[in-house]
Structure formats: C-alpha cells, structure tokens
C-alpha cells in the first residue's frame, strides 16, 4: 500500500524559492568548506595559467591581464547569490502581474517519488533518486543533490519548529522507503527489512562542578556514531542524541547535541514514544555534583564534593516502552555477564551489548551480545563499524518480530503526529 502524500503550507519569500531551485553554497558549514576548497583550486588554476601565459608569450602585461580577468570572473562566480537571482525573479514577476506580492504562500509536498515546491510563481521538484542526503540545522533543512548543491527550505518559513521537525522526519522516512525499494506495507520494504525510526545515543556527558571543571568519562562516542552511520546507510531515519564529542555527524542523520545527563534524558524521553527502536550507546554519568558552584572554585585545602544520582535514562525508557525495541550497553570490569544479565532484566531491555573499558578511544572493540530469552553470543575482536552492522541487523530482526506481535494483538503506540496520516 502506497503511503499518502504529505503537504505542508509555508510562507516563502521569492529568494527562498530561488534558493530551493538553484545551486547554493553559503548556508551550510559543509558546503562552505567545499566551496572554499573549490576557490583554492580556482586560484591555483589562475596562477598556473598566468605563469604559463607569461612563459609562452614573454609578456608580463598579458599575464597580469589574464590573472585580473580570471580573478574578476572568480569573484563574480562566487558573489552572484540567491538575492541577485531573487531580485531578478521578483522584477520579472511584477512586470508580468503587478498584483502579485513578493511573499507567496507555497506548498511543499512529499510523495514516494520526491519533494515538490509550488506557489503562484513556479514549481520545482526533486526526486529521491537525486537526493544524496537530508540534513537539518536550526535555520535550514537541506535536501542535498550534489557536493555543492542542495534544495534548501528555511525553518522560519514553517508555522513553528514542530512543523519543521515533522517535515524533516517525513522527508527522511519517505527517502528511506524509496531507498529500500517498493513497499508491501507501511514501512516494510519488499526485502522484508523494516524501515525504522531509530534513536541512538552516543558519547559521554559532562556534569559541571563549577564554570571551569566538570565530571565526565573517557567515552569517544565512536560506537554510537558508527551505529548511526550504519543505520542511515541501510535507509533508516536516524536521530542521534550526542554528548560532547569531536566527531562529524554521519550523512542523513539528525544530530541533537547535549552536554549533561539531564539534557540527554530530556531529549531522549521526548522522542521515545514515536521511535521504533532505541540503542543507548552513550556513557551517561551516574553521578553529578549536587550543586554546581556559580564561580570558579579557588585552590585551598581539601575539596569535598557531594554527589547525587543522575536520571537512569535506560531504566526510564524500560518503564515507558510499549512495542519499541530497546538495546543497552554494559561496560564492566568484572562479573560482566552476571551484571549485564541483571541490567537486561531490571531495565526491560530486548538486548544488551557487553564490553570492557579497553574500548574507550579505540577503533576496535571486543564484545558479547545477549538477547532477552536467548544465549550469549561472542562477537570477538571487531571494528566498531563491524559491530554496528551486527547490532543494526539485530535491531531490524527484533523490530520485525515486535511489529508482527503488535499486528496480532491489535495494540500499539499512539500514531506519530509526523506520520503520513497528517495532511
């Protein structure tokens, strides 16, 4: 059964619509970096051309003129932006029909084929086959169509942040379904692999002692980021809630950056209801200072810190879960299997991954996995990317089983307000 198209109404300025329809490079950090590299290449090409012309012609004047002309062309190429194009469009439209205003109510429609934008001026469509990845910042939603090109929708054009987030989630979900192949049911491709809304946590948390010092741990976040990258590569809609790490967000993954355990708990719990699966790979602090000092603590005698427990996010998710798949990690130094089994039972996990402190900061990992009601499975020495693949495959299998059980019982979660039923 084909998913129903989703249409949202936004208010786009003409320049916004032009940005959606044309080559852009200025608003995304990733695009800015690539544009800078391209500028460097152009400058080097101009210098090489000038040097070659000087040696071939023997005329310094000719070389200078060539360099100047090349430089002017370069400046023109990188400064003609969306506002110039927008001004031309508005002028042409007003010359044609003075009754048309510069602000237009536009429709963005998401279908199984792609995304289209339409208003009184024009229409533009991009197919999912032409979209390499979908990303979102606080200001824009990007549908990347190339290394330096993207269809861009400003977040401010939506009725609110929630509407922008719903559009972003729906776009990722439809793209994931298109990548997975023709559908035999909502979110279930023909190859039998479920398309999931997957929530992943990664990295450490930092609990402030004062404005300078804090309590944290040695987690690098690599395992969680590998999980998010693998899940996105397989076509799932992935949200990554990350503690403070120095890693780049994987393509087509929505990253939510947090600092403390409390912040991570808030972001995860508010998204949990509509997630199909959660993999808690973050090393969340178990304790925090009961009160953070407002100013920097000065050196003196011994300092005694009073610590209090942080929110146990995994336990809270276990209490709330309905048909979601919940996978946790257990890092142990002794009695590993016994402690991990207790964690699985106490927190109502579907599976637990056991590993040791040697994994911190390393590319490799030695792990074991246990599924509820099953036997331990030793993974041996793997890269974190390889372990991520095994975990995502397990989550897909568990999610498929959960959906079949839900279909039999006729019970399940409340509908996702960002889902296809919203028009």
DSSP of 338-364, one letter per residue?
HHHHHHHHHTT-SEEEEE-GGGTT-SE
Provide the CB-side half-sphere exposure for 373 (13 A, CA).
3
Beta bridge mates, 188: 185
Q: Which DSSP letter does residue 124 get?
A: E
**Do 47 and 134 lie in a common domain?**
yes
Query: Tokens standing for 399?
Result: 């999610």
Distance CA 89, CA 107 (A): 19
Distance CA 45, CA 58 (A): 19
Parent domain of 378: 193-292+307-408
pTM of structure = 0.60
Any domain includes 18: yes
**Do 142 and 6 lie in a common domain?**
yes
Distance CA 48, CA 51 (A): 5
Number of domains in the chain: 2
**Do 100 and 179 lie in a common domain?**
yes
Residue in the structure block whose two tokens are 């395992």: 223
CATH number of the domain within which 324 lies: 3.40.50.10300
Burial environment of residue 278 by CB neighbours within 10 A (0 to 12, 13 to 18, 19 or more) = buried
Helix (H, G, I), strand (E, B) or coil at 421: coil
Distance CA 230, CA 252 (A): 11
Q: Which residues contact 324 (CB under 8 A, 6 or more apart)?
A: 272, 275, 276, 277, 278, 317, 402, 413
Any domain includes 417: no
**What number of other Cβ atoms are within 10 A of residue 50's Cβ?**
20
Q: Which of 151, 218, 236 is nearest to 358 (CA)?
A: 218
Residue in the structure block whose two tokens are 């699966």: 277
Q: Which is it for strands 307-309 and 253-257: parallel, antiparallel or unpaired?
A: unpaired
Helix (H, G, I), strand (E, B) or coil at 39: helix
Q: Outline where DSSP puts E strands in 349-407.
A: 351-355, 364-371, 376-383
- Among 139, 164, 186, give the residue marking a domain's end: 186
Any domain includes 418: no
- Among 152, 167, 186, give the residue marking a domain's end: 186
What does each of the 423 residues of the chain score in pLDDT, given as a tens digit?
Answer: 445 677 777 665 555 544 444 433 334 444 455 556 666 776 777 777 777 777 777 777 777 777 777 777 666 665 554 445 444 444 444 444 444 444 556 778 888 788 887 766 556 778 887 887 788 888 788 887 766 567 777 788 788 888 888 888 888 878 776 765 543 333 444 345 568 899 999 999 999 999 999 999 999 999 999 999 999 888 898 999 999 999 999 888 889 999 999 999 999 999 998 899 999 999 999 999 999 999 999 988 898 999 999 999 999 999 999 999 999 999 999 999 999 999 999 999 999 999 998 888 788 899 999 999 999 999 888 999 999 999 999 999 998 876 666 555 655 555 454 443 322
Distance CA 201, CA 253 (A): 12
Q: Which residues contact 187 (CB under 8 A, 6 or more apart)?
A: 173, 177, 194, 195, 196
Q: What angle do CA 188, 127, 252 make, to 5 degrees?
A: 65
């Amino acid at each position: 059964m084909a998913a129903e198209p989703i249409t949202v109404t936004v208010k786009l300025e003409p320049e916004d619509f032009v940005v959606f329809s044309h080559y852009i490079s200025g608003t995304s950090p990733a695009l800015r970096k690539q544009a800078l590299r391209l500028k460097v290449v152009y400058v080097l090409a101009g210098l090489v051309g000038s040097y070659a012309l000087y040696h071939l012609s023997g005329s310094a004047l000719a070389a200078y003129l060539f360099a100047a002309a090349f430089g002017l062309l370069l400046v023109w190429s990188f400064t003609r932006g969306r506002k110039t194009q927008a001004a031309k469009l508005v002028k042409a439209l007003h010359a044609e029909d003075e009754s048309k205003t510069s602000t237009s109510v536009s429709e963005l429609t998401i279908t199984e084929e792609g995304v289209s934008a339409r208003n009184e001026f024009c229409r533009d469509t991009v197919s999912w086959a032409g979209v390499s990845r979908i990303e979102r910042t606080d200001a824009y939603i990007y549908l990347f169509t190339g290394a330096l090109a993207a269809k861009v929708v400003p977040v401010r054009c939506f009725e609110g942040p929630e509407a922008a987030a719903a559009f972003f989630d729906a776009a990722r979900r439809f793209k994931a379904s298109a990548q997975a192949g023709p559908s035999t049911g909502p979110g279930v491709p023909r190859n039998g692999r479920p398309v999931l809304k997957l929530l992943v946590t990664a990295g450490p948390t930092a609990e402030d002692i004062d404005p300078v010092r804090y309590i944290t741990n040695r987690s690098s976040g690599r395992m969680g980021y590998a999980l998010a990258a693998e899940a996105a590569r397989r076509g799932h809609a992935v949200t990554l809630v990350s503690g403070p790490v120095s890693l780049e967000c994987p393509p087509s993954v929505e990253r939510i950056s947090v600092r403390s355990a409390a912040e991570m708990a808030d972001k995860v719990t508010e998204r949990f209801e509509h997630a199909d699966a959660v993999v808690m790979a973050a090393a969340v602090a178990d304790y925090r200072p009961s009160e953070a000092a407002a100013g920097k603590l000065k050196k003196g005698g011994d300092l005694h810190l009073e610590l209090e427990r942080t929110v146990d996010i995994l336990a809270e998710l276990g209490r709330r879960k309905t048909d979601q798949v919940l996978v946790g990690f257990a890092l142990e130094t002794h009695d590993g299997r016994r402690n991990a089994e207790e964690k699985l039972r106490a927190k109502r996990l579907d599976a637990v991954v056991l590993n040791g402190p040697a994994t911190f900061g390393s590319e490799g990992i030695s792990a074991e996995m246990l599924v509820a009601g099953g036997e331990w499975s030793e993974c041996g020495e793997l890269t974190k990317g390889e372990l991520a693949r095994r975990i995502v495959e397990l989550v897909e299998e568990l999610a498929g089983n959960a959906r079949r059980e839900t279909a039999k019982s006729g019970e399940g979660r409340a509908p996702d307000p960002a889902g296809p039923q919203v028009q």
